[in-house]
Homo-oligomer: A and B are copies of this chain.
Amino acid sequence: MKLQAEEIDLATRSPTVILNATDARELGVNPLDRVQVRGDGTSVVAIVEVTEELVAPGDLGATSRVGHLTGAVEVTPAPRPRSVQYVRKKLDGVELEPFEVRRIAEDITEDRLSDIELSAYVTGAYTRGFSSTETLALTEAMTGAGDRLSWDVDVVADKHSIGGVAGNRVTPILVPIVVAAGVTVPKTSSRAITSPAGTADTMEVFCDVSFDVDGIRRIVAEAGGCLVWGGGVDLSPADDRIIRAEYPLSLDPPGQLVASVLSKKRSAGSTHVVLDVPYGEGAKTGSLDEARELAEEFKKVADHLGLHLTCAITRGQAPIGRGIGPVLEARDVLSVLGGDGPADLRQKSVRLAGLLLDACEVEADAEELLTSGAAETAFRDIVEAQGGDRDVSLDDLVPGAQTHTVEASRAGVVSHVDNGLVSEVARRAGAPRDVRAGLYLERGLGAEVEAGDPLFTLHAEHAGKLAEARELLAGSEPLRVRPAGESVVEHL
């Protein structure tokens, strides 16, 4: 069918053309079918949407993702991407062949699937699961589809956490320890999506975090490692698309998680990785068994890839460290590097750094590297290489001046710190956008308190946001205090 193409200013993710219902019927295509559009020297396959009004009969609306298409075009029905049929197969519970998995990853990377198809893929991965063979094929297909880093050394160390724990700012402490031992650590981290701070948000308190591949190379050459935002490079393009479909329903299919993490590590050129797998109420894996199962799947796939992976299963039922929110977490990090700071954050960082150094077969003592100040120097080198002030001190990291402290209403023991609630309160207070906002835990899990002792302090930059956070506190209890020795949690 011959149509007249016009560009339509429409933000679609996949190449899309809009047809009038009359033309669509004549062509025999329905919404979400594909058509081949041939114009002046170009040929493109696009997804069909149908309108009664927006586009007149005889015209074709081409979105920017289709490319520049105007004037007379020839439009013919085109088959669906083959991966759609493989997604259907997965929904039917059939294990996919490696070439089928690769085809799906490729079509997602190239934005060939509609939201309907992408979501069917993610829900299929979630409800049917992936075998190790499928996950391996997926990891390989997702590796190297975008940017790739390579290094002139044999050992490149890296770290990742599957998340879900508030605070837990281990990375900016672990990386300098390992760098101080002479190991290359090109660490990329994420910004907060639903949490009050990601590692990239916390590091941005100290220095720039947004660098491209060349920038990362320069920083690592100067400082032996980096602590940058992963969004400045595109180590796994498919992953960004998949997250779009995972996010609305909070789906995190284990096979997909393994493939996403390991493909990024491989694209970053890492050879030795320590993975933090927290478990517990509110964490991503609820039980120790679940955490073990996930860790074993990670190891199995990593082994096949020739990637040295150490999984650390950690307690995740409560926040790690005292600060929640970019500046408050930055203070914890700088304190620990300076020889002080929250004991739990220090201990976990040293342990994970030690596991990583052992894996790299480097003769070095993580504890000693921290105590001696070598790690702090390495951290300040990185901050400087990323354009920050290497002489930054705690005095420069001032939490929001609008504060409110919640006190214990009775004596007892802090029996529960709710990761999700603590995070939500910190977000209401303004984190991560307001970097000085958040929540400071005056007492940690297991601490003994007297009635009237401070439990936690809210910090905000704006009085309005402090009020919003306090509103949320009215009906909830981020920290619970139980009488010491009381075994009954609730009775109904």
| A115-142 contact mask (Cβ, 8 Å, vs B): 1 or 0 | 1111110111011100000000000000
Asked if A414 lies at the interface with its beta carbon under 8 angstroms from chain B, I say no
Interface pair A123/B91, CB less than 8 Å apart: yes
Q: Sort chain A's interface into a size bin.
A: 35 or more
Interface pair B118/A116, CB less than 8 Å apart: yes
Roughly how many angstroms separate A104 CA and B118 CA in the complex, as a whole number?
21
Binds B, one of A27-35, A179-187, A276-284, A395-403: A27-35
Copies in the complex: 2
Binds B, one of A143-151, A241-249, A256-264, A315-323: A241-249
Interface pair A114/B248, CB less than 8 Å apart: yes
User: How far does the Cβ of A449 sit from chain B's closest Cβ, in whole Å?
Assistant: 32
Question: What are the residues of chain B within 8 A of A8 when measuring CB–CB?
Answer: 9
| A76-95 contact mask (Cβ, 8 Å, vs B): 1 or 0 | 00001000100110010100
Roughly how many angstroms separate A386 CA and B248 CA in the complex, as a whole number?
47
Asked if A304 lies at the interface with its beta carbon under 8 angstroms from chain B, I say no
Interface pair A245/B123, CB less than 8 Å apart: no
Interface pair B123/A248, CB less than 8 Å apart: no
Asked if A54 lies at the interface with its beta carbon under 8 angstroms from chain B, I say yes
Question: What are the residues of chain B within 8 A of A153 when measuring CB–CB?
Answer: none
Roughly how many angstroms separate A127 CA and B25 CA in the complex, as a whole number?
31
Interface pair A114/B114, CB less than 8 Å apart: no
Q: Give which listed residue, B32, B244, B249, contacts A248 with CB less than 8 A.
A: B32
Roughly how many angstroms separate A244 CA and B31 CA in the complex, as a whole number?
7
User: How far does the Cβ of A21 sit from chain B's closest Cβ, in whole Å?
Assistant: 11
Question: What are the residues of chain B within 8 A of A459 when measuring CB–CB?
Answer: none
Roughly how many angstroms separate A118 CA and B245 CA in the complex, as a whole number?
11
Question: What are the residues of chain B within 8 A of A492 when measuring CB–CB?
Answer: none
User: How far does the Cβ of A6 sit from chain B's closest Cβ, in whole Å?
Assistant: 12
Question: What are the residues of chain B within 8 A of A126 when measuring CB–CB?
Answer: 91
Q: Give which listed residue, B9, B26, B119, B127, contacts A119 with CB less than 8 A.
A: B119
Question: What are the residues of chain B within 8 A of A116 when measuring CB–CB?
Answer: 115-116, 118-119, 244-245, 248-249
Asked if A380 lies at the interface with its beta carbon under 8 angstroms from chain B, I say no
User: How far does the Cβ of A251 sit from chain B's closest Cβ, in whole Å?
Assistant: 7
21 contacts between A and B (CB under 8 A): A9-B9, A10-B10, A11-B18, A25-B433, A28-B433, A30-B247, A31-B244, A31-B247, A32-B248, A87-B249, A91-B127, A91-B249, A91-B251, A93-B127, A115-B116, A116-B119, A117-B248, A120-B122, A120-B248, A120-B251, A123-B124
